[in-house]
């Protein structure tokens, strides 16, 4: 029984625009997920025709997430994760990876996409020892994110701040740097910054991105590895530095092929 008012799930569905492609849904498509629409598949196929490596990039970014989250949880003892711009759930999501390494991990996802909100219930699974929660907030307002996340996370203890493939959506570079700086400032000593973004290191990728941006979707700015390095200023960058994601501490015995997604992990002293 209801009082006639729309439920949060119905409100989220009403805000989904299926006439314009959306990056989270296209990424979901490239990752083999099913939470996408025809407009996303058309845009994803058009992108892939110009930059055929994009699907490899998408899957490499998830493998990188698995390695980095496992590392900070298992090797560095991090038990709190703030994952901003989480996107749609596919496989080996942050909470699953973190709680596999450390069952008492606490994870807060942040996004403001209505389809992600609709799927929040799928994200809100947790081990009995840990916590998983979802915050509906905009990266352009880091203070609001921190305030909401602070109800679940203890910012008196180390936190892993994760900005995975999201900063390219902040079109103004100086604003992107400011947002990162403000988020990092709230982290206590001993915290970690975990990040990746697609780069401007391939001409095919740049042409494909230009075509995507012309569809009316929210643009994504490809930046140079040197520009990405500014996000880590004031932190202790761990070896091997900011590198193509497959080259960040690859599994022993593997021969990874570089892609045009770069990232790194840094420690806040």
Angstrom distances, CA of residue 146 to CA of 74, 110, 225: 25, 10, 27
pLDDT, average across residues 107-113: 91
Examine the pLDDT at 113 and tell me if it is beyond 90: no
- Write the pLDDT tens digit of every residue in 10-53: 454 555 777 788 777 887 888 778 878 888 898 888 888 888 88
Instruction: State whether CATH 3.40.50.150 applies to domain 60-203+219-268.
Output: yes
Q: Where are the domains of the chain?
A: 60-203+219-268
How much is the pLDDT for 123? 74
pLDDT, average across residues 54-63: 88
Percent of the chain at pLDDT exceeding 70: 94
Give pTM, 2 decimals.
Answer: 0.88
How much is the pLDDT for 15? 58
The secondary structure of the chain as a DSSP string is ---SSPPHHHHHHHT--SSS--HHHHHHHHTT-S---HHHHHHHHHHHHH-TTHHHHHHHHHHHHHHHHHIIIIIT---EEEEES--S--SS-HHHHHHHH-TT-EEEEEE--HHHHHTHHHH----TTSEEEEEE--TT-HHHHHHHHTTTS-TTS--EEEEES-GGG--SHHHHHHHHHHHHHTSPTT-EEEEEEEBS--HHHHHHHHHHHTTTSPP---B-HHHHHGGGTTSEEPTT-SEEGGGSSPPTT--PPP-SEEEEEEE--
CA distance 61 to 67: 10
């Amino acid at each position: 029984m209801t009082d006639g008012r729309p439920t949060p799930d119905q409100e989220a569905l009403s805000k989904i625009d299926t006439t314009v492609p959306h990056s989270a849904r296209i990424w979901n498509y490239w990752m083999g997920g099913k939470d996408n629409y025809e407009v996303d598949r058309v845009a994803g196929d058009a992108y892939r025709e110009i930059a055929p490596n994009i699907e490899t990039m998408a899957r490499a970014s998830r493998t990188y997430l698995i390695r980095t989250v496992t590392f900070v949880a298992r090797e560095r003892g991090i038990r709190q994760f703030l994952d901003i711009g989480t996107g749609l759930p596919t496989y080996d999501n942050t909470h699953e990876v973190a709680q596999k390494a450390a069952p008492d991990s606490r994870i807060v996802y942040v996004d403001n996409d209505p389809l992600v909100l609709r799927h929040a219930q799928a994200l809100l699974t947790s081990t009995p020892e840990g916590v998983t929660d979802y915050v509906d907030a905009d990266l352009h307002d880091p203070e609001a994110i921190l305030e909401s996340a602070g109800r679940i996370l203890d910012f008196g203890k180390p936190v892993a701040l994760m900005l995975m493939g999201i900063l390219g959506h902040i079109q103004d570079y100086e604003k992107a740097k400011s947002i990162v700086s403000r988020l990092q400032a709230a982290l206590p000593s001993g915290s970690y910054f975990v990040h990746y973004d697609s780069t401007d290191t391939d001409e095919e990728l740049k042409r494909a991105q230009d075509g995507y941006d012309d569809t009316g979707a929210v643009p994504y700015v490809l930046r140079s590895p040197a520009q990405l390095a500014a996000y880590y200023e004031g932190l202790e960058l761990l070896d091997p530095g900011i590198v193509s994601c497959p080259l960040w501490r690859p599994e022993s015995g593997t021969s990874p092929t570089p892609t045009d997604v770069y990232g790194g992990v840094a420690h806040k002293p």
